[in-house]
Amino acid sequence: MRSPLVSPWVELKETPQERVKRLIEEGHEPQERTHDVEGFTFTLRVVVRTFEESPDALRDYTLKVFGACLQTAQAFKDFDAVLETRNISRDPKKVLGSKVKLKLGNTVYYAKASSHDLDTATAHAIDRLAAGLTELAKAHTKVQQALSSNGLTIIRKV
């Protein structure tokens, strides 16, 4: 809530929640937007409906949705084991050696670094994450449903 004592010369900005509420009241519809998380072999595509237009804000929002999607998938008993076989874990102590941090909104994963180059190591970690999610989705239809209901598609590049 805004303070009632505000200088008349100060222009107040809308909060993100106020902006969304105003746009909905004006009859605007959120647009379908995509953000790709690129590996070398796989692309993790997240499709969301949002009012965000800035590329940075869209990226942050889609990564947050992706992280929430992974939190839903964590409920399956094989989830952690499958990712750990690919040297990916939420616990940095379980990944030996140098690691890269995959920050997906409020969810953070650590993956074994396959290279000294951060971009290369991150791309390899994304490929291993995508391969693990693909394996889980094949084994459990509910994992596939959780991924697709959150707008996540795993694309294998040819």
What pLDDT score was predicted for residue 40? 95
User: Whole-model pTM?
Assistant: 0.81
As a whole number of angstroms, the distance between CA 25 and CA 114 comes to 49
Half-sphere exposure of 150 (CA within 13 A, CB side): 22
The 8-class DSSP code of residue 29 comes to -
As a whole number of angstroms, the distance between CA 89 and CA 111 comes to 7
Structural domains counted in the chain: 1
Has residue 103 been placed in a domain? yes
Question: What tokens were used for 137?
Answer: 């989705």
Has residue 6 been placed in a domain? no
Has residue 67 been placed in a domain? yes
List per-block mean pLDDT (blocks of 10 residues) for the chain, which spans 158 residues.
59 75 87 91 91 86 88 86 94 94 91 94 95 91 87 89
What pLDDT score was predicted for residue 54? 86
Has residue 51 been placed in a domain? yes
What pLDDT score was predicted for residue 140? 86
Q: Can you give the length of the chain in residues?
A: 158
